[in-house]
Amino acid sequence: MTTMFIQLRRVVCLLVLLQCCVCVAYAESASGAGRETTTSELTQVDVDQLSKTVAKAYEYIALISAFLFVLKENKGLCEEKTRRAEAVAENITAIVKEINESKIGNLQWKPKEEWIEEKKKKMQQNMEVISEVKVALAELSQLEKSYKSELEGVYVDKEELAKAGDRLSEEQSSEKPERMELAQNISKIMEMLTVLEKRINAPDGDLQPFATAALSLNNASEAVEALKRSLGEDAERVIVSKGIENKELKRIAEEKRVVATKKLKEAKAKELQRLSEGGTVEDQREGSGVEQPSGETEERRVVGENVRETQEERDRKDSKEEQANGINHTKEERDVDGVTEKNENGKEKETEESQKEKVTENTKEEKAKKPQVEVAQRIKERQEEKVEEESKKPRVDVVRAIKAIQGADGSLSPALVHGPLLLILLCVLGCTLVC
């Protein structure tokens, strides 16, 4: 009988130990699940902030695309200036070589007047070409400055955006379609940014022609300095033209900055419009996504507008002069009432023209702001749809909240989950030990 009780106590002890291990394992798994749900899912505040970041990323993409578009528009001009700068460098290098060969065996060599006159004409042409290349590169330099200035306000961290997209992708998209759409937008943005970075950073990318032009200009300038050293005292007789002065170049660069900034903003507005209408990554690979003006470049269009505005001002002045002359001629033939009526008509005409100009300017401003307003409107509509869908599923959110709270405060511990059962087993174990 004693042996049987001893065996029974051993069995009960093993059962109690096994039950305790099961309870502990279950509680840890439940608590771990609650913690995972709490840390992996994004809150609504995070999602709203991420939506704003996505809108900012689209603006970032639009700015890069606009910059590349304007660069592409000036690519032909830049390549032409590069060829001319290279030709200048070759011409000047040939003159230096001729001087060095003449000095071999005759260190006291001096150029003749005929030679000086001939080279002076060539150098005058060469210096004019160098000045033209400097002006062209000054415009591109101002364009780059405008681009970098705009970039500071819309820059988006690509790595942080990718991490947020991965977290959204891990969530159950069937329960939260708005988050699935947000994850898809982030994926699309990442693909676009990858394409744009390759176009900018690649050795043979869109910036390569402009780097080549700058190098050619530098080589031409170095050739001029080498010629000065070779000629010595006669350098001023050959190189009469100094080219464009730095002060004048700065003034021209400031004028070009205004034009470059305007072109960049117009191209950015068009690209934002394309993206708001559902532009794809394939469109981005094909080009900048901005339509090129047909028949003339953007610069020519701006110049044409300035010419037309100047012509209109001249026409208005001519018409005023004609009206004034007409009034003088008709003073002898007509009475004062007729003259007054003409003046009033002229004032009304000027008022109508000024009103038309104001309406045209307001229309241009509205067109420039329209893409940004549309993007903000679309984000607002998506957020409203998101709130409406979440309001239809309150029960699911409540259940998740309860589970998260239980996981956080330890209410899934063994003592609370299986408290009664453990109490009975401990009583049995105590009785067996006493017996």
The DSSP-derived string for 88-144 is HHHHHHHHHHHHHHHHTT-TT----HHHHHHHHHHHHHHHHHHHHHHHHHHHHHHHH
Q: Looking at residue 93, what is its pLDDT?
A: 93
**What is d(CA 116, CA 128) in angstroms, rounded to the nearest whole number?**
18
**What is d(CA 88, CA 86) in angstroms, rounded to the nearest whole number?**
5
Q: Looking at residue 85, what is its pLDDT?
A: 92
Q: How many helices (H) and strands (E) does the chain have?
A: 15, 0
Q: How many CB atoms lie within 10 A of CB 222?
A: 13
Q: How many CB atoms lie within 10 A of CB 391?
A: 9
**What is d(CA 432, CA 435) in angstroms, rounded to the nearest whole number?**
5
Tokens 């989950």 identify what position? 417
Rounded to the nearest angstrom, the gap between the alpha carbon of residue 329 and the centroid of all alpha carbons in its chain is 62
Cβ proximity of 422 and 15 under 8 Å: no
Rg for the chain, CA atoms, rounded = 40
**What is d(CA 306, CA 316) in angstroms, rounded to the nearest whole number?**
15
**What is d(CA 311, CA 375) in angstroms, rounded to the nearest whole number?**
38
Tokens 């609370």 identify what position? 416
pLDDT tens, residue order, the chain (435 aa): 567 666 766 776 667 677 666 665 555 554 444 444 434 567 778 788 888 888 888 888 888 888 888 888 888 888 898 999 999 999 999 999 988 888 887 767 888 888 988 888 999 999 999 999 998 888 888 888 888 888 887 888 878 888 877 877 776 555 677 778 888 888 888 888 888 888 888 777 788 888 898 999 999 999 999 998 988 888 888 888 777 888 888 888 888 888 888 888 888 888 888 887 766 434 544 544 444 333 333 433 433 344 344 445 545 555 555 455 544 444 444 443 444 444 445 545 556 666 666 566 666 556 555 555 565 566 667 666 665 665 554 444 434 444 544 454 444 455 444 556 665 666 666 566 555
- Hey, what are 290's tokens? 């901005």
> Nearest CA to 291 among 308, 277, 304?
277
